[in-house]
Chain A
Amino acid sequence: MTNSEVLIEAKQLIKRYGDFTAVAGIDFQVRKGESFGFLGPNGAGKSTTMRIIAATLTRSGGEITILGKDPEKFGPEIKAHLGVVPQMDNLDNALTVEENLYIYGRYFGLSKAFIRPKIEELLDFAQLVEKRSVKVEALSGGMKRRLTIARALVSEPEILMLDEPTTGLDPQARHILWDRLFRLKEQGVTLLITTHYMDEAEQLCDRLMVMDKGSIMAEDSPAGLIKSYSTKEVLEVRFGSDRNAVVAPQLKELCERIEVLPDRILMYADDGEELLHQLNQKGLHPLTSLVRRSSLEDVFLRLTGRTLID
């Protein structure tokens, strides 16, 4: 997408809860058609930022505009153009799949004539056509999540916001969901995603903001972040939990950077196989070794000194 229209712009955005600062003066822009991600561990300030954008939480300082408007003055006007998928599904359990879509359309003031064909389109998109008359209670976690996403699309929103869209889902359900979200992305839907899954961020986001403790640690495309903050490859070695720390100083001399984790050592180099060869030549024989591509997990480790999922 080359459209450069700015839909969301935050300057020095702050949110405090008493003495605790959840969002500590962050700046960012989201453009039309972009898929923008907030990546960070639990408590990084991602969901708080999302709620400020969704006009359901007031800020403590700084500026923010969504579609050029201040959410504190134009809450309903902004909400009219957002589709919100919260972290926890909050569907109406007493109603059926179809009824949930219908009533959500009514909350946006849409006419029955508009909603009826829209339901068909959304059921098809969410692969829930056969479940249309089933009560929400009876759906699996993945189905509920797809229904929540479909529900958020009923008003044809400008921006679709997804807070931890696949947390708690099994791998198969996650892949189905990613496929649906990828279709939206292909259609040029502006997506705003929070996640602590690096694979999800890599798959779905054009641009990422890495957050920790309410601050922005870095911002770029997934590939750009890896390029800036990591090497091409990573060699993961295990010498046994009591020996890892002992051999670490020797490993440091062989590569750009190492990270000693409780169970393994990560060695950063552009050629992992070559590094492993050097290791063996030095007489260091790890119990297990694995060469892999650098990922956003490595970026996060570099930026914060911690893993994403503690």
Chain B
Amino acid sequence: MAPRQGSLKLVNTERIKSRGAFAVVEARVMIFMKYLPALLSVAVANPFLYLLAVGVGVGKLINAHSGGVDGVKYLTFLAPALLATAAIQNALDEVVFPTLEGFKWNKSFFAINATPISGKQIANGVLLAAMTRVLFSVTVYGTIIYLFHGFTTARGWLAIPTALAAGAAFGAFIMGLAAWTKNDDTFLMVLNRFVIMPLFLFSGTFYQLSSMPIYLRWVGWLSPLWHSTELGRYLTYGHQISPWMFVFHISYIVAMFAFGMRFAHRQFEARLSR
């Protein structure tokens, strides 16, 4: 018996137009579940080892010599930056690989695009799913920082939303680039060595941006990591920033997210209709 065919009323296109991205999220979550033990181990082991080595080890040294940084314990100073770094790193992992896979490795995005789901919705779904994992990882990270006494007050948890914002903003933009690239090997190499690594090192992560030579500070100014970290430090322990800078940091991240999504939408639509 061949399957039935031609049920004209079966598919509700209007519903897909408003909720199609969630089907893409569902597919991504199904794939996360396959790697759940690995995802869980990384989410716990990564921050644990990092905080043990840098936060506590190096931190002890710094606290003993200079009484901390920016008027607080080194770990408290470091925590917002670590959360934002983890958010960005996780977001990139979860947007770059699915995008390269969807367009190049097994072309599954073309299969999704043969259904009523649009390229924009695929992009939204991939980012939304990535942010679900980021939320999970950053919450675990935050909990471990708390257990290491990295948060001096309950306000420490406020670094989680600022970290998420940085992950979403940078993730959207890089997702667009992953959709645009034809050469996946070079793309991954350039991304890891010339984007992520400098961003991590020169965004005021381990020390304040102002203590860096002026000719290197531009990396921080461009980096969503620095803007998110500054906001996080202000919210968690009252790091001093002017109201203007507060607004500017938020605006920068929002603008980067808006630009990144627009760019990603265009690249997804263009690649699918080429």
Contacts and interface: CB of A to CB of B under 8 A. Distances in A.
B12 A109 contact: yes
Interface stretch (B107-115, B155-163, B172-180, B183-191): B107-115
A158 B31 contact: no
Interface string A85-100: 0101011111100010
Interface string B82-126: 000000000000000000000000111011111111100000000
Contact of B6 (A79, A84, A86, A156): A156
Given A106-B27, A158-B5, A56 B113 contact: yes
Contact of B5 (A95, A107, A153): A153
Contacts of A75: 116, 118
A110 interface: yes
Contacts of A158: 5-6, 8
A106 B114 contact: no
Nearest to B272: A56
Nearest to B22: A106
A196 B77 CA distance: 66
Interface in B1-56: 1-8, 10-13, 15-17, 19-20, 23-24, 26-27, 30-31, 34
A108 B5 contact: no
Interface of A: 54, 56-58, 75-77, 79-82, 84, 86, 88, 90-95, 99, 103-104, 106-110, 114, 118, 121-122, 124-125, 150-151, 153, 155-158, 160, 183-184, 186-190
Contact of A122 (B3, B17, B23): B3
Contacts of B34: 94-95
A168 to B, nearest CB: 15
A90 to B, nearest CB: 4
A121 B3 contact: yes
Contacts of B111: 84, 86, 90-92, 104, 151
A108 B114 CA distance: 10
A91 B105 CA distance: 11
Given A90-B107, A92-B27, A95-B30, A109 B5 contact: no
A108 B118 contact: no
Given A58-B273, A80-B116, A108 B107 contact: no
A153 B115 CA distance: 12
Contacts of B4: 156
A194 to B, nearest CB: 15
Given A95-B34, A108-B11, A114-B10, 18 more contacts: A56-B273, A76-B118, A77-B116, A84-B111, A90-B110, A93-B106, A94-B31, A106-B27, A107-B116, A109-B13, A110-B11, A122-B3, A124-B1, A150-B3, A151-B111, A155-B11, A156-B5, A157-B6
Top 10 nearest A-B pairs (CB, nearest first) are: A76-B116, A80-B11, A84-B114, A107-B115, A90-B107, A156-B7, A90-B111, A187-B2, A109-B16, A106-B23
A86 B110 contact: yes
B114 A77 contact: no
Contacts of B114: 54, 56, 79, 82, 84, 86
Contact of B30 (A58, A99, A109, A189): A99
Which of A57, A90, A157, A183 has the most CB atoms of chain B within a 10 A radius of its CB?
A90
A92 B24 CA distance: 12
A81 B8 contact: yes
B106 A91 contact: yes
